[in-house]
Amino acid sequence: MILEWIRIHETALWLVGVLSILTLVETLILIPMLIIHIPVDYFRRRQRNPRHYRGRYPLIRLVGLVLKNILGIMFVVAGLAMLVLPGQGFITILVGIMLLNFPGKLALERRIVQQPTVLRAINWIRAKANKPPLQVLRPTSSTRRR
């Protein structure tokens, strides 16, 4: 009975296996690599968009922007899955959000990284790579939810 179920769902099981391996690679290699490359003051900056890219090579910039946003969506979806599966869910979601472009992104990023467990995990990864901890704006009483 179980063998029959496996034969019927063989393709789905292979897909789940491949996705699990990709998620493992993402969690163990890609996420830490991206985290150690975050500039120390990334969450303290007022402005993020480098102006020197504007107007140069618009087609290449558009393709890069689309690919970056697709990758960001993939990270957010993987992070959401990791909230119930093994993995670094909130950190993966944060990296995905950092890759996306949308209004209110800065506030959402800061809100996620201000969570003590998220910041502690990010700085632990950075410490393992001999990188300084991230500088984060501490929430004030006016920005905290009541």
Q: Where are the domains of the chain?
A: 2-128
Both tokens assigned to 66: 């689309």
Give the integer Cα–Cα distance in Å for 133 and 22.
28
Q: What is the pLDDT of residues 85-123, one digit of tens each?
A: 777 888 889 999 999 999 988 889 889 898 999 899 999
* Exposed/middle/buried for residue 3 (C-beta within 10 Å: 0-12, 13-18, 19+): exposed
Tell me the pTM. 0.69
3-class secondary structure, 39: coil
Q: What is the pLDDT of residues 35-50, one digit of tens each?
A: 999 999 888 877 665 5
